[in-house]
Amino acid sequence: MAGDTPNGDTRTFDRARLLEMMTAFKATYLIRAAVELRLFDALADGPADPDTVAAILGTSPRGTRILLRALAAADLLDMDGEEFALLPGVRELLVASSPSYAGGVVRVAASDLEWDTMRDLAQTVRRGGTLLDTGAQSPDFPYWVDFAEYQTLATRPGAAFVSDLLRPWAAGRAQLDVLDIGCGHGMFGFAVAELAESGLVCGVDGAAVLEVAARNAERSGLGGRCRFVAGDAFEVPLGGPYDVAVLGNVLFQFPFERAVELLRRVREALRPQGRVVLAGFTTGDTPPRDSYHAHMLELLMLAWTGAGELHSTGMYRKMLASSGFIDSEVHSQPGLPLRVVLARRP
């Protein structure tokens, strides 16, 4: 009941909230289908009736009509008689030609692998780890390709935040050599590299993921400054020395001891006074309700790894200290779900 929880918390749980949680997956399959069919593109030029939309998409008129009505019920479309139109914001985010298009994120936020895995969450909890034969720690884990290709809504803002944090330190440097561990799309490492006119960016990840990173490097104008190393960051030669090492959304795949092991390898690849950057979601820094997506990601680490779980920034600072880094500092930005921990090699 309201008022029965500590600290005067008045949150309640009722039938409406219960039903909302039990049926939330319906909104997911609705948006997935609409994005896959590129239905919003069919309405980009103005309102249309179901038969017109079906003709554009090459879909069944009946199926299209029912899908359009469901999208209107979900407040994605406006319905006026038999015509449907995009509601404000939908054009910017869900029409593929828009510079702000984010529809591809559904491949990450609602991946097929996640859907299949989470059906057995109760069994995963019983076991305390993944039921998969190959977990997320493998550089060839298939999810990481989609994660690199489609990124998330926090990727570019997060990369820009990291770049801004390092800008004062990098000022006046003509060259920056950057090591990007588990580079994925590569955007964090590229953002750091752009602080100097020259320098190498070395991205380490699975071979299929690196194909995406290489394309992104070319688009960013950094193709000539990049090399990529395919394989396990715990095993492959890292090269170096580097001025900066970036680990974005990496260490939550591992328990404390394993993360320290990786950070020690990274420290040895850095020049004296080199910087290390840990960027990603954390838990334990705010109340759980204020970090919902981080805790949902932690469920994925339970389901996709043998021992991974999200860490607090305090735990990251302990990892850095245990691996020989000093002067760690924590940074956050309002509206950005990622946190950044910086430290330096003595």
The domains of the chain, with CATH numbers, are 6-101 (1.10.10.10), 143-344 (3.40.50.150)
For residue 5, what pLDDT is reported?
Answer: 56
Mean pLDDT, all residues of the chain:
93
Could you give the CA distance from residue 183 to residue 211 in angstroms, rounded to a whole number? 11
Averaged pLDDT for residues 124-134: 93
At 12, the pLDDT band (50, 70, 90 cuts) reads confident
For residue range 277-326, list pLDDT tens digits in order: 999 999 999 999 899 999 999 999 999 999 999 999 999 999 999 999 99
Q: Is the pLDDT of residue 10 over 80?
A: no
CA angle 100, 203, 213 (to 5 degrees): 35
Determine what percent of the chain is predicted with pLDDT higher than 70.
Answer: 98
Backbone angles phi, psi at 282, to 5 degrees: -135, 160
Residue type, 160: A
Contacts of 260 (CB under 8 A, 6+ apart): 319, 322, 323
Q: How many other C-beta atoms are found inside a 10 Å radius of the C-beta of residue 51?
A: 12
> 242, 271 in Cβ contact below 8 A?
yes
For residue range 177-208, list pLDDT tens digits in order: 999 999 999 999 999 999 999 999 999 999 99
Averaged pLDDT for residues 35-41: 97
Region at 246 (left for phi over 0; alpha for psi -120 to 50; beta for the rest): beta
Q: Is the pLDDT of residue 3 over 50?
A: no
DSSP string, 88-131: TTHHHHHSTTSTT--GGGHHHHT-HHHHHHHTTHHHHHHHTS--
At 275, the pLDDT band (50, 70, 90 cuts) reads very high
- Per DSSP bridges, beta strands 201-205 and 226-230 are parallel
Averaged pLDDT for residues 114-142: 91
